[in-house]
């Protein structure tokens, strides 16, 4: 039993909630706005809390919100899998790095393998099927991202905002989260990225693409798996949530 448990990969979700949400407007950060009576971030955390595939959750938030998150989210809603609340960084990638370092310390102590799900706190419609699909792909390929084929024709612009080219639509995907990786792979990639001094990294897959030779697998997410960024997104999210209920 002890040997089998050691071989089982621990699945940890890093949920990012340190963003300022300037496009939403108002004084409340978007992750704390209410969606059907509860903060958006609650719905996201609950999805991972309720998944039997997830062992633990690291919530990364602003240092000034850590106490509120502990009292008004974790304790209030009994989110028992949130075992760490970490302070975020100035950029998304520094927040992820802070979360990865927490996992690295635990993995080293336990001497075990792991898989990490990196997810935007304002994508509350991640579900069990998506978690299962991305986990399965990561066990095979080591790295994957939830994504969906785009519905619109995409144009690439030149520096003067004229059309430069039109990529084939059947080869263009809109990238979502979770982005899921073998832990040691993503940790080494992030370590190299942080040492490089690059600041143009917009998602986790880009870091794996840039600092390893591992290909990132695209896995079906959902068109409902939206990132709530603007007031219009919040209205759409309420519609989705009512339909699910």
Residue 193 main-chain phi, psi, to 5 deg: -65, -45
Digitized pLDDT (tens) for each residue of the chain, 245 residues in all: 444 444 578 999 999 998 765 554 456 588 999 999 999 999 999 999 999 999 999 999 999 999 999 999 999 999 999 999 999 999 999 999 999 999 998 776 666 789 999 999 999 999 999 999 999 999 999 999 999 999 999 999 999 999 999 999 999 999 999 999 999 999 999 999 999 999 999 999 999 999 999 999 999 999 999 999 999 999 999 999 999 87
**What is the spatial distance between Cα 94 and Cα 217, in angstroms, rounded to a whole number?**
23
**What is the tens place of the pLDDT at every residue in 158-170?**
999 999 999 999 9
- Whether the Cβ atoms of residue 123 and residue 223 lie closer than 8 Å to each other: no
**What is the tens place of the pLDDT at every residue in 61-109?**
999 999 999 999 999 999 999 999 999 999 999 999 999 999 998 776 6
- Whether the Cβ atoms of residue 81 and residue 49 lie closer than 8 Å to each other: yes
User: 137: closest CA among 91, 175, 182, 193?
Assistant: 182
**What is the spatial distance between Cα 79 and Cα 82, in angstroms, rounded to a whole number?**
6
Output the CATH code of domain 2-148+177-244: 3.90.550.10
Give residue limits of the domains in the chain. Answer: 2-148+177-244
Joined tokens for residue 19:
């963003």
């Amino acid at each position: 039993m002890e040997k089998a448990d050691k071989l089982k990969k621990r699945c940890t979700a890093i949920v990012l909630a340190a963003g300022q949400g300037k496009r939403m407007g108002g004084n409340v950060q978007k992750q704390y706005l209410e969606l059907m009576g509860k903060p958006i971030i609650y719905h996201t955390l609950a999805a991972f809390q309720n998944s039997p595939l997830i062992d633990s959750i690291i919530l990364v938030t602003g240092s000034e919100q850590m106490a509120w998150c502990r009292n008004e989210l974790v304790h209030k809603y009994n989110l028992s899998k949130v075992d760490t609340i970490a302070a975020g960084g100035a950029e998304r990638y520094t927040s992820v790095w802070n979360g990865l370092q927490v996992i690295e310390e635990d993995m080293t102590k336990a001497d075990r393998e792991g898989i990490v799900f990196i997810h935007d706190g304002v994508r509350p419609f991640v579900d069990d099927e998506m978690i299962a699909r991305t986990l399965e792909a990561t066990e095979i390929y080591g790295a994957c991202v939830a994504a969906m084929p785009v519905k619109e024709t995409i144009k690439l612009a030149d520096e003067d905002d004229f059309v430069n080219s039109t990529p084939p639509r059947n080869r263009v995907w809109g990238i979502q989260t979770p982005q899921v990786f073998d832990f040691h792979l993503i940790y080494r990639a992030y370590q190299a990225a942080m040492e490089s001094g690059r600041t143009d990294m917009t998602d986790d897959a880009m870091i794996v693409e840039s600092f390893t030779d591992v290909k990132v697998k695209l896995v079906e997410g959902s068109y409902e798996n939206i990132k709530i960024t603007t007031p219009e997104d919040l209205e759409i999210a309420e519609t989705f949530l009512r339909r699910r209920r």
